[in-house]
Amino acid sequence: MDENQTMEPLASGISRRRFFGYAGALAGAGLLTGVGAGCKKDDDDGRVNLGGGDLGLLNYAYALEQLEAAFYIELFKMPYIGISPAEQAYLEDIRDHEIAHRDFLKAMLGTFAIQPLTPNFESIDFSSRSVVLGMARMLEDLGVSAYNGVAKYFTQTTEGANYLSLAGKIVSVEARHAAIIREMIQANSFADTSIVDATNRIDMAREPSEVLALAGSFFREGLNGDNLITT
């Protein structure tokens, strides 16, 4: 899969007018100006440097959204054997959400956005329902835990607070994705103890180092998140 195939434009199910309306609102609020700590496009060792500060955290989210969007795009090139109309409808909605998230974050970052990344799905049997849904569950659970894990690292500035608010809106949608996919695999697993703490009843949170270690094998480029945590 090349970059042109991977990073397709918004799917037909997404309203371009609505998407760019959101982007325009952000610009009006001063959130598309690229103010803040920047990031390098890559390192001397060839890895993509996510950078630091609030923009580094947004690039971190952008990398994960690129991966999720690419997975669902690949899924629908040849849907798995036995996919039902209901499953197809659910997964198409999720695909369109992930594409919108990806493009939304790219617009927010502007010239500070990292490069389009190339996914590596060679180990995934897209003809198998159990494999595809298992991968989807992993990606959605990982995405939720990733957003939860970095929320505390946004700066205590007006810009950081705005970014945190937007990240919270994205993660709420990601949690909905995770819940429906878990129910597609096994009933009543949408909030089991593998993702929700049994005592405090709060969702799992992962640090960037753990998330990148888990997601790294699904990118052809190496990702450097060493500078993400600056507090």
Q: What is the CATH number of the domain that holds 152?
A: 1.20.1260.10
Alpha-carbon span 17 to 2, nearest angstrom: 27
Q: Where do the H-state alpha helices sit in 151-193?
A: 158-185
Question: Whole domain around residue 139: which residue ranges?
Answer: 42-224
Residue 205 has pLDDT above 90, yes or no: no
* Angle CA 166–169–174, to nearest 5: 125
Give the global pTM. 0.80
Q: State the CB neighbour count (10 A cutoff) for residue 20.
A: 14
Inter-residue contact 64 to 215 (CB < 8 Å): yes
In a domain, 13, yes or no: no
Give the model's pLDDT for residue 197: 65
Report how far residue 166's alpha carbon sits from residue 36's, in angstroms, rounded to the nearest whole number.
17
The tally of domains found in the chain comes to 1
Alpha-carbon gap, residue 21 to 36, rounded angstroms: 23
Averaged pLDDT of the chain: 82
| Residue 21 lies inside a defined structural domain of this protein | no
What is the pLDDT at residue 198?
A: 64
**Residue 210 reports pLDDT greater than 60:** yes
Residue 36 within a domain: no
Closest CA to 225 of 27, 53, 74: 53
Measured distance CA(51)–CA(49) in Å, rounded: 5
Q: Please check whether residue 11 lies inside any domain of the structure.
A: no
Which pLDDT score is estimated for 203? 75
Residue type, 197: D
What would the pLDDT profile of 118-147 be if each residue is shown by its tens digit?
A: 999 999 999 999 999 999 999 999 999 999
Alpha carbon distance 91, 212 (integer Å): 24
pLDDT greater than 70 at residue 13: no
Nearest alpha carbon to residue 57 among 21, 24, 105: 105
> Between the ranges 12-16, 40-44, 168-172, where is the mean pLDDT highest?
168-172
Q: Is residue 176 in a domain?
A: yes
